[in-house]
Amino acid sequence: MSAWTITPDKYLHADQVQALRETIEAAMLRAKSKGQQIAVRDYTIIEVALGTGLRVSELSNLKIEDIQLGRGQNSLVVRKGKNGKTGVVQFSTRLKNIILDYLDYRDSVSPYLFYSERSEQIKISGLQKIFKNCARRAGFDRRYSIHCLRHTYATVLYKASGYNLRLVQAQLRHSSISVTAVYSAVINPDIETAVEAMDSMEK
């Protein structure tokens, strides 16, 4: 049994995801119109986090060579995951196009997908700062950290997969299904149906 719990304040809901995406997309388009790089990078960071559920350390360590985009592939290899494990994460065609556009636009020669202005590899603290900045501009309160994007990804994937915990476990690369099961506790369609049905039974 998992010793931790996911509560609704630990992930973003649909309206919050929309607000965040609108905020970062507007900044990205402004940056492109001025030939600037950073907001385009930040947009891609948030989209990759939302579209893959990577841990912040995995985002930092992600290299261009780890992105598999050829021959119809939409996946990436996590080479330095939790406990040093390697894994593969599939992602959508939409995210593939975002990554391709970013790679075509960026002017860095860093082997890492995400670089900083001072280093070829962005640090975890840098990623946290970028998210906090984007979240603030989207109107979120300060309690959210970049890790909420992993939880957001998991909850969206859980619903989109028809509540398939095994699929979510594989994408998150959890060693035990009991860890993934925390998402079924907070998003349970049977409970939602049952509590709504209670009203009609009382009439």
Average pLDDT over residues 151-174: 93
pLDDT in the model for residue 1? 40
Lowest-confidence segment of 79-83, 120-124, 191-195 by average pLDDT: 191-195
Closest listed residue to residue 104, CA positions, set 23, 25, 44, 24: 44
pTM score over 0.75: yes
**Residue 2, pLDDT score:** 44
Tokens of residue 90, six digits: 């599939």
Catalytic: which of 10, 41, 55, 96?
55
Q: Is 183 marked active-site? A: yes
- Give the pLDDT of residue 137: 97
Strand partners, 87: 78
Judging by beta carbons within 10 Å of its beta carbon (0-12, 13-18, 19+), is residue 77 exposed, middle or buried?
middle
For each of the domains in the chain, give its residue range(s) and CATH number, in order of start: 8-201 (1.10.443.10)
CA 152 to chain centroid: 7
**pLDDT over threshold 70, residue 194:** no
Decide if 30 is catalytic. no
Choosing from 21, 63, 82, 106, the catalytic residue is 82
- 132 belongs to the catalytic site: no
Least confident of 29-33, 77-81, 102-106: 77-81
Tell me, yes or no, if 34 is annotated catalytic: no
State what percent of residues in the chain have pLDDT above 90. 73
Q: What integer is the mean pLDDT of 136-150?
A: 94
Contact 108, 115 (CB under 8 A): yes
Give the pair of three-digit tokens for residue 193. 């149906």
Indicate if the alpha-carbon torsion angle 9, 126, 42, 110 is positive or negative: negative
* Mean pLDDT computed over every residue of the chain: 91
82 is catalytic: yes
- Which of these is catalytic: 43, 112, 153, 183? 183
Amino acid (one-letter) located at 104: D
55 part of the active site: yes
Q: Categorize the per-residue pLDDT at 16 as very low, low, confident or very high, splitting at 50, 70 and 90.
A: very high
Indicate which residue of 106, 147, 159, 163 is catalytic. 147
Instruction: Please identify which of the residues 150, 151, 153, 158 carries the catalytic annotation.
Output: 150
Mean pLDDT of 176-192: 81
Tell me: pLDDT of 10 over 80: yes
pLDDT digits (tens, 9 = 90+) for 35-87: 999 999 999 999 999 999 999 999 999 999 999 998 788 999 998 767 678 89
Instruction: Report the distance separating Cα 78 and Cα 140, nearest Å.
Output: 29
